[in-house]
Chains A and B, each alone.
Chain A
């Protein structure tokens, strides 16, 4: 893969943004967070629940702003509108700072950084009610989902790519599966009865069915190839009278079909975890508003 390496080096030289792998950034942020915690640094003495609470809320909002930047073109167009009016050098800096890649890094720093004001806020608080305990659990889950998301986003694309013949887009997979099925059905036309029967018994169910997602997910996690067991089994079931090349071709089709199924599970995972992350964010928002309302009601400003 010498040529690939050379292409990669050229691309790295051209890449305008300095950021590397997200997991490295995450590790750096986590280390900074732990160091901060161990240093025992406290907020200014005059800061009570209100100030630490507001700061926590502000950092939560900063983290949530990522969604606004990512999904709402209106926002992006306005920032660009503003950038276009700045002097050239400043405008260039503004544009680089506004890249979604930069925002993603800021999001992770904010998502972890929120633990600092939250910690201060908890220390200032007067014991936790059930609501606050659930709230903290949600924050914990959000953190876990965020960290798993970083790992998924960093390592999954590579894991998918090392398997040959995969689809890049989720929406192309259905069509590709259909084409494979049609190809398999055409491959048995005019074959002897025994061959067709073996096909109907051993291959067609594989072509039409879907392997268990859990098994495919396990293959992703362990880095194993989910097709080997099936292709080995098919090699033993080859009908006696058959033309080996035709069976070989059908086996290849099954192999590709399984790879596509695996690819589909991976792509769903790659996008799906964000939904879990988002559900937690919504829950957090609801609980935080209850928490604030309660605090205002019972304690007042």
Chain B
């Protein structure tokens, strides 16, 4: 994207923003708060796009709400951009609410059809819109509609549903949000009230057996559904479903579900297959496995996108992984101690959570997520407040002094020979040196590949920066895994770890469906 920031006078900007329904009822104070926040909130402001330029790319974690101010944008087909656009955004239209309100990656490519001005409101700055009740409700309503549509599009179970039917189904849908773990969504034995699709996060399926023992049968994630057993079977829930952390669900009421099954028998057929599979799972889950699943869910292991796992049957305790981490990043971001699951140790290192608390706690949007799922810091937006370190439930973020941090970043830049990492304060910059100099370790950096902040902007240098495992972001290897002599340390996705137990599906499954959609 070669978009340019466009400086627009506040009055002119407000006039353009007024085209958007959500901002029409703003009071004078709300207007002032919004306009004065623009220069201070990283990522908030107006950007200009040339015709045919991409405004957002499918799969990217660019978590901003976009309001079209001038020109025109459209959802384009990411495989064949020559195909006609599926939705057009005229001045005043909003898009990108899934990313901004849920932290999900962009669900489609949006490109400018003509020279277009777009106002970006990043996720952390949504508060300036949501202070207004009308705007809040309107965004929530749009979000519901868009979320249901996107989910129906992504889940292959519903792939055959025509657009008109989804339009009819939307009024039967409700979004349920839960922030805590262990909240019962469905109670075993209770009468079924609806059919649920997991929109975000995880839920845990627990069944109380005839011998009164509870067994955790599975975890369901984004794109998976539950509640069908009670609606298609006895009318009562066969198992309980509890939240496994913060999650969002789409609930389709009984009438909507009946309509769905009546008009699309193939969907009902598929759901009956799902029921049969789940009932089989009950026989497969032993008490030991159930305990393991419960523990893994509590410790955030199930929800992890990339776990560092150490095979204790191989680990000789040499601590080379820890020293490698320290030499690369200034301080080891890995403590070789943590949770043991049988012969495997899950050390205290960032899990790249599905629902990252650190990301939600950052006031400047400096905690970000890549399309591959890893959570990383955008150090240029970081103000060193330490909120993320407090918010992480697994205590994996630490704040380190700026000089130590700078030295480590410079070292990494030198290996990669490019200014990939946060540029240090201007005075510590060194002249680029030749190949031999770099090989001898003297070379600090080559010319920047992206614009540097002007010295005036770079005056605030925090006294400390947060570091945590970011899977050695930007380096071609992961220090700990690469430097383990015994092959004990490895990175693995939770779904891969539990693959043979059929208790949680892979995120890749959701992505594949997304791509097919």
Contact = CB atoms under 8 A, between A and B. Distances in A.
Interface of A: 1-4, 6-11, 13-17, 19, 22, 70, 73-74, 76-78, 80-81, 83-85, 91, 95, 98-101, 103-104, 153, 156-158, 160-161, 168-170, 172, 267, 270-271
A68 to B, nearest CB: 13
26 contacts: A2-B286, A3-B292, A6-B498, A6-B501, A7-B501, A8-B343, A10-B500, A13-B499, A14-B492, A17-B487, A19-B487, A70-B320, A73-B327, A76-B482, A78-B441, A80-B477, A84-B415, A91-B476, A95-B477, A101-B487, A103-B485, A157-B313, A157-B488, A158-B313, A168-B317, A172-B337
B211 to A, nearest CB: 19
B312 A101 contact: no
A299 B416 CA distance: 49
A216 B373 CA distance: 46
A103 B484 CA distance: 10
A2 B485 contact: no
Given A17-B487, A78-B439, A4 B317 contact: no
A11 B311 contact: yes
Given A3-B289, A78-B439, A100 B313 contact: no
B317 A267 contact: yes
B317 A271 contact: yes
A182 to B, nearest CB: 20
Which secondary structure dominates chain B's binding surface? mixed
Contacts of A17: 487
A279 to B, nearest CB: 18
Contacts of B317: 157, 168-170, 267, 270-271
B318 interface: yes
Nearest to A6: B500
A170 B319 CA distance: 10
A53 B336 CA distance: 43
B341 interface: yes
A158 B337 CA distance: 17
Interface string B132-144: 0000000000000
Given A11-B497, A169-B319, 18 more contacts: A3-B288, A3-B289, A4-B343, A7-B500, A73-B324, A74-B441, A76-B482, A77-B411, A78-B439, A80-B415, A95-B477, A95-B482, A98-B482, A101-B485, A153-B316, A161-B343, A168-B336, A270-B317
B312 A157 contact: yes
A169 B338 CA distance: 11
A95 B483 contact: no
B398 to A, nearest CB: 18
Contacts of A100: 320, 482-485
Nearest to A156: B316
